[in-house]
Structure 1
Amino acid sequence: MFSNFFEIIILSAIQGITEFLPISSSAHLILVNKISNLQIGSLYLDTGMHLGSLLAIIFFFRNDLIKILDDKKLLYLIILGSFPTIILGAILYTSGFIYYFRSLDLIAWTTLIFAILLYISDKFKVNKKIQNDLNLKSILIIGFFQMLALVPGVSRSGIVITAARFLNFDRYDSTKISFFLSIPALSGASFLSLKDLYSETFELNLIILFSIIFSFIFSYLAIKYFLIFVKHFSLVIFVIYRIILSLGLFYLIYF
């Protein structure tokens, strides 16, 4: 199915890096699919990449997750904040309606619009922390915002950070909220892929294995260095990147 495992490395890098940065992994994968010959639609590759990203986030935050399991309030809040996206996502994927969102035109607009919202939110004052200020009201607001990420170009991490920043959480904790909420989201995406997946061939098993490994590596590095970045810098570089990307998409569409 894949004659060149270099393709797996490229696609795993795109998935692993863009999954956790506020620039939309789905938009980049769809864009690459439109302008290249890389085989992005493989169920086996999708499953491996999502599992790799999921394992990376769990491994990176293993100590935090142990504490969350002991802190029942925070655990319940993360679960509640994930429900809206998981339920709507399951409906859209099983019905096939999700594929109506995959046009470059829509991606260009969402990339631009949510770049502007990210910029505005990042200017908000900061005085809230996860441990003391994350409550039912704030997590439900963030959770409903996260549903928008089912549309390619919005960016799941981007919209969660945007919502949290509008609610006055600081940049670092907004990013951590985004990462914590990614665990149920990635688990749901992996489950939807796994339920239709069965393979006994050596080649397909290698595809899954390599995509998990490479996606894990790139995801782990993205998580580590993005957290370092947000401690010291604003998100304006990602805003600029999204605006440039959207303009490039508009050029591809209309010229």
Structure 2
Amino acid sequence: MFQNIIEILILSAIQGISEFLPISSSAHLILVSSLYEFKSSSLLIDISLHLGSLFAIIYFFRKELLDIKNNQKILVLITLGSVPLIIVGYFLYTTGIIYSLRNIEVIAWTTLIFGIILYIADKSRFDKKISANLNFQSILIIGLFQIFSLIPGVSRAGITMTAARILKFNRVDSSKISFLLSIPALSGASFLGLKDLFDQSVEFNYLVIIAIVSSFIFSFVTVKFFLEYINKFSMNAFVIYRIIIALFLFFIIYF
């Protein structure tokens, strides 16, 4: 039992931290699952981890989400910006193509390439803001960029922040756009997972509650401190981290 709880906490930390940082949660979960055979890992636990992150981001932005009158434009744009990911993601999922992308070599190259693109985009010193500058054209471009996040290693947070920085939004607002876009993305992932879950015989247990709660905590803390961090510093630390991970994977693959 104790080992199961430790495994859930590790998976929750990976999900909660990497989901909202520009380092790819799917890549980290795939890599950890490949290196270690976690007995607690299952479809039900995966869904629970995603639900924990979803609840955390909804709770973090609860004021904006509930204040529909003043934030109607932003909420509509975020919904529209999520349509490309939902359509393409559903197609790749139902055809099974998405599973062919889940390998270490793909992760290594996408981690490196999109890390470098993030570095270049983050050099922008422009200062567009969500309230004044987010419109249909910009959210559509960010939404199209978000499709790349279906490839493990790209990072949904990373690619949406990259797109927003290319469009000259400041770092904090680029991060907020990315976080708000995560709500439909996580909802979609959870829905597809639940759809598969209904086709299986599963047993709900205490690990599900631990997974949801711990993922919620790690996710909430990550979002809170990342926004404070990015208000003062650049994305360089995350770019360096991605390069180190990529080089490590290249060593494993090619040597």
TM-score bracket for this pair, using the shorter chain length? over 0.9
CA contact (8 A) 1:11 1:40 kept: no
Q: Hey, what's the Cα distance between the residues in 1 that align with 2:40 and 2:88?
A: 23
CA contact (8 A) 1:101 1:152 kept: yes
Letter of the structure 1 residue corresponding to residue 160 of structure 2: V
Q: Hey, what's the Cα distance between the residues in 2 that align with 1:208 and 1:172?
A: 33
Paired position in structure 2 for 1:186: 186
CA contact (8 A) 1:115 1:243 kept: yes
SS at match of 1:22: coil
Paired position in structure 1 for 2:96: 96
Aligned-pair CA distance for 1:134: 0.3
Aligned-pair CA distance for 1:70: 4.1
Paired position in structure 2 for 1:119: 119
Q: Hey, what's the Cα distance between the residues in 2 that align with 1:95 and 1:3?
A: 36
Aligned-pair CA distance for 1:138: 0.3
CA contact (8 A) 2:82 2:143 kept: yes
Paired position in structure 2 for 1:248: 248
Letter of the structure 1 residue corresponding to residue 82 of structure 2: S
Q: What TM-score does the superposition give when structure 2 sets the normalisation length? A: 0.95
CA contact (8 A) 1:119 1:239 kept: yes
**Residue 239 (str. 1) matches residue 239 (str. 2):** yes
Q: Hey, what's the Cα distance between the residues in 1 that align with 2:40 and 2:24?
A: 16
CA contact (8 A) 1:44 1:207 kept: no
- Mark the CA change 1:128 to 1:35 in structure 2 (over 3 Å): closer, same or farther: same
- Mark the CA change 1:119 to 1:91 in structure 2 (over 3 Å): closer, same or farther: same
CA contact (8 A) 2:54 2:183 kept: yes
- Mark the CA change 1:113 to 1:40 in structure 2 (over 3 Å): closer, same or farther: farther
Paired position in structure 2 for 1:23: 23
Aligned-pair CA distance for 1:249: 0.5
SS at match of 1:223: helix
Paired position in structure 2 for 1:85: 85
Q: How do 1:1-255 and structure 2 match up within 5 A?
A: 4-39=4-39, 42-68=42-68, 70-198=70-198, 201=203, 204-255=204-255
List alignment gaps of at least 5 residues for structure 1. Answer: none
Q: Hey, what's the Cα distance between the residues in 2 that align with 1:67 and 1:168?
A: 26
Aligned-pair CA distance for 1:72: 2.3
CA contact (8 A) 2:8 2:40 kept: no
Aligned-pair CA distance for 1:50: 0.5
Q: Hey, what's the Cα distance between the residues in 1 that align with 2:104 and 2:2?
A: 26
Aligned-pair CA distance for 1:217: 0.7
Letter of the structure 2 residue corresponding to residue 33 of structure 1: S
Q: Hey, what's the Cα distance between the residues in 1 that align with 2:56 and 2:40?
A: 21
SS at match of 2:169: coil
CA contact (8 A) 1:122 1:165 kept: yes
Letter of the structure 2 residue corresponding to residue 240 of structure 1: I
Q: Hey, what's the Cα distance between the residues in 2 that align with 1:200 and 1:32?
A: 23
- Mark the CA change 1:200 to 1:158 in structure 2 (over 3 Å): closer, same or farther: closer
